[in-house]
Structure 1
């Protein structure tokens, strides 16, 4: 089938993931944003859009995707951005002001191919109190490479200060940035990954962990638990 616009399959896939993120309540109507890096495999001339072989682009959700459309996006509404200069070259809609945070994440590690930000409800609890999230469930601590679920210090949303902070912390963890989630103080979560659907899995499993960790914290405060429990034993793993 002939593609109607550049990177059509990838943009349709991202639009579908956005709908599921919203429908599964992994963000709220206030927003969130997702981008995926694509290195063009060939030169493409698509009307006025010119794609250069071996050049890096990102496809990205538009601003107001939740408020205006409840994330019921068509692939054509997913934007195409030249990663080198941050300019939008295709897509119906406008760039979010958080484009700078995405670009700084990609600069931090060339292996990152997905940057996924949401206002996930359970994780937002830990982010809002500015505390690292206890990592207690098997799926986050054993079967995924996630270690500490760290909360970054507060910086205003969409600011250069936040983008720089994200860049600095991703550089500091090296290749762990290829499958990582940070809590953004009072602003939600930021996932960096090598695959869009893997990033979605991280968000969903960390949301479960956030709820369970909250319940364990309540039990500890009531004296019903002495320590956090994980995988059948007391644990302080990933809490230091």
Structure 2
């Protein structure tokens, strides 16, 4: 992906996340891969609804900063996912209200309430609490790198995808499933046989 196009798409996606109330203020961080060894990530401390393309920070997979600006303090788990998963093209981490409502209670998201949850997300693990920006958090994310989406205890949510749109769509679906779970109360999930069938689609 051409760098400036990636910067534009990342800024647009940040605005969309903010407008859809999937993140607030400077919360969260998002990135998109632009080559095998480089990615663009949101800067630290900036309101996601106001970011401009030129503010995004270019980095390589060795952790070197290749442009102006200071990257998010959590850039290392983005870097880890890109290193581990060669087909990951984007990572989205934010603090959606319903996902965080579950995460502060250490309650996992039940993605098998609807077929879409199974198809778009699959199983969503609950990561143990780690200090934001810490190596412990990087290691915890890396240990769950095979999942499309994750909840972080007392923290937020994370999705990855082959494209920025796919990673965004998974975050939107994750928040929908969390909201549905909280509103539906004791609704039963799909039978295991149906989940297995959907998993093969």
TM-score normalised to structure 2 length: 0.88
Choose 1 or 2 for highest CA Rg: 1
Counting only pairs closer than 5 Å after superposition, residues 78-157 of structure 1 correspond to structure 2 as 78-83=56-61, 85-91=62-68, 93-135=69-111, 136-141=113-118, 143-144=119-120, 146-157=121-132
Count of equivalent residues: 194
Unpaired runs of 5+ residues, structure 1, are 1-5, 40-54, 221-226
Of 39, 43, 50, the match for 1:72: 50
Deviation beyond 2 Å, 4+ runs, structure 1: 233-238
Distance in 1, Cα, partners of 2:108 & 2:162 = 23
Of 6, 9, 12, the match for 1:13: 9
Q: Which residue of 2 aligns with 1:52?
A: none
Partner secondary structure for residue 59 of structure 1:
strand
Q: Aligned Cα RMSD in Å?
A: 2.2
Tell me if structure 2 keeps the 8 A contact 1:62–1:95.
Answer: yes
Unpaired runs of 5+ residues, structure 2, are 197-201
Q: Deviations over 1:28-50 (max 9, x none)?
A: 124110111121xxxxxxxxxxx
Question: Greater strand percent: which structure?
Answer: 1
Tell me if structure 2 keeps the 8 A contact 1:79–1:88.
Answer: yes
Tell me if structure 1 keeps the 8 A contact 2:92–2:158.
Answer: yes
Tell me if structure 2 keeps the 8 A contact 1:132–1:148.
Answer: no
Partner secondary structure for residue 144 of structure 2:
helix
